[in-house]
Structure 1
Amino acid sequence: MAEHHLPGSPPVPVLLRRSARARRISLRVSQLDGRVTLTVPRGVSEAEALDFALSKSDWVRGHLASRQGDVAVTQGAVLPVEGRPRRVICETTRRVRLEEDALILPADRPGLRAQAFLREMARDRLAAASDRHAATLGRGYTRLTLRDTRSRWGSCSSAGALMYSWRLVLAPPEILDYVAAHEVAHLAEMNHSPAFWAQVDRLYGPHDRARAWLRNEGSTLHRYRFESAG
């Protein structure tokens, strides 16, 4: 990918990416890191693509200005757990406690303690959802692993191994359940054919709202920083 800049103060870096699959020029502003990507199909000149980006410069700057900043998980921060905002409170304690509107953390390395607690919570929720959906489908999976992935919320390998982002525990429970149903459905259909989506609907029910939530709100789950907090 080649880097260019939209003029202005300050200039905005734009990554130009050519794609054989693209049908039209498109611009994307990442809510994760503010990266601006200009995707260009075959047969379109670089000059034409840059003219398109320039015509959209106000739109790009508007999106960059509205991008939410990162949140360090430490005293006073507000962190969603299962979709509910919880105020982070650091105390002289050895254990993490999840309350109705608060997450109580030890004052020593609260971010890392929160991350460990949430990963275990995510494992419990995702294992339970995966087991339930796999039983309905009548197929088993081989293992379940958690990662902190940015490009996908889950995956299912041809060997039946499930992988999920542990940050799904920050989302409303129905979103986590949808992702589990989506990945378990791949145990029967390793594709995104109509037959696959029929399996998702069988396991989860109508899924359009959950997919839209992930598309529109999912990136906000990556705002929360645990490793360097506290």
Structure 2
Amino acid sequence: MPVLPGSPPVEITLRRSAQARRFSLRVSRLDGRVTLTLPLRAREAEALAFVRDQEGWIRRALSDVPEAAAVGLGSVLPLEGRPLTVRTGSGRSVRVTDDSLLVPGDPASVPLRLATFLKAMARERLAVACDRHARNLGRPYARLTLRDTRSRWGSCTQDGCLMFSWRLILAPPPILDYVAAHEVAHLAQMNHSPAFWAEVARLDPDYALHRAWLRRQGQALHGFRFGD
């Protein structure tokens, strides 16, 4: 893998594409990976010269990547937008108090137990939101699934299957509700036309504010690592 020298050195992932007509750089805000897309016939030496010319831009982009935070006892984790401290709990289940997430059991199992708890809560909240929006739209959906997607917060297939990132449970409730409304609206409009956005506005009149929040702060939700 080519490396851009400097402090620190930066690994560059090269990806050749039949569709590419020029060099294109991308820095992932999730993990800081730097990818250079280049045409099939481009010479690697030319590609690396392009990378060196863009070093300033690359390093500025890397400085904006949020640091990953491993979740464990003492971590502060947003739950529905509320910052809660992860502490040792009693009993068998994870509990939520005014300022804490209480996780019983072996400290080593805290990340996995928290992830399981958060996924269950996300499924419950999203099911309620999707059911409500689907009733208002007058169109049922087929099923709801959760994933830890990095490139999108949700999706809707032609046959009415909805998929969401379970990390939406970390965001304030109106944000989760907006993403549910967005994907449910696709049941009526499988596009992003003005007619689609009109459906979204009918389901969530403040969708523009919620969409802007995701663009500004959504990537930070991917910075929490649960040992996976």
Query: Where on the TM-score scale, by shorter chain, does this alignment land: which range?
Result: 0.7 to 0.9
Task: Provide, for residues 113-149 of structure 1, a one-character-per-residue CA deviation record: whole Å limited to 9, x for no partner.
Answer: 2112111111111011101111111111111111222
Counterpart of 2:199, as a letter, is Q
Counterpart of 1:15, as a letter, is T
- Residues 27 and 158 of structure 1: CA distance in aligned 2, closer, same or farther (over 3 Å): same
The structural deviation recorded for 1:58 is 2.4
1:55 to 53, 56, 62: 53
TM-score by length of 1: 0.85
Q: Distance in 2 between matches of 1:194 and 1:154?
A: 19
Task: Please name the residue that 1:196 is paired with.
Answer: 196
- Residues 208 and 49 of structure 1: CA distance in aligned 2, closer, same or farther (over 3 Å): farther
Counterpart of 1:131, as a letter, is D
**Do 1:127 and 1:144's aligned partners in 2 also have CA atoms closer than 8 Å?**
yes
Task: Please name the residue that 2:225 is paired with.
Answer: 225
Q: Distance in 2 between matches of 1:178 and 1:41?
A: 38
**Do 1:74 and 1:90's aligned partners in 2 also have CA atoms closer than 8 Å?**
no
**Do 2:186 and 2:196's aligned partners in 1 also have CA atoms closer than 8 Å?**
yes
Consecutive unaligned residues in structure 2, runs of 5 or more: none
The structural deviation recorded for 1:68 is 2.9
Q: Distance in 1 between matches of 2:90 and 2:206?
A: 45
Pairwise CA RMSD = 2.6
The structural deviation recorded for 1:110 is 1.6
- Residues 76 and 49 of structure 1: CA distance in aligned 2, closer, same or farther (over 3 Å): same
Task: Please name the residue that 1:209 is paired with.
Answer: 209
Q: Distance in 1 between matches of 2:201 and 2:154?
A: 17
Aligned residues: 226
Q: Distance in 2 between matches of 1:136 and 1:23?
A: 45
- Residues 181 and 19 of structure 1: CA distance in aligned 2, closer, same or farther (over 3 Å): farther
| SS state at 1:126 partner | helix
Task: Please name the residue that 1:11 is paired with.
Answer: 9
Consecutive unaligned residues in structure 1, runs of 5 or more: none
Task: Please name the residue that 1:36 is paired with.
Answer: 34
Q: Distance in 2 between matches of 1:208 and 1:46?
A: 43
| SS state at 1:75 partner | coil
